[in-house]
Structure 1
């Protein structure tokens, strides 16, 4: 959710050398997870999302 995205933003701002973002969820087909991945991609277009 929003808190997870803010935590991710804090980590990536604190450690700018991180290039990869690993997102994991039990039900990867859920629409909520798909929307979260879209928001992460918007915020971090140059990072590799796994």
Structure 2
């Protein structure tokens, strides 16, 4: 069950080199992947942070 929210600081490369918002979203999801952040699911991105839910 998903219970807790967490903020993950995104690296600058996620949006710095992106040519569109779709490419930025793809980079953000590439960064927050199951190997690096197991159990995390991105809810939204705001001001350089990904707001995620994580399984407990």
TM-score normalised over the length of structure 1: 0.31
Higher normalized contact order (CA 8 Å, seq sep 6+, divided by chain length): 2
Question: Which has more helix, going by share of residues?
Answer: 1
Larger Rg: 2
Question: Which has more strand, going by share of residues?
Answer: 2
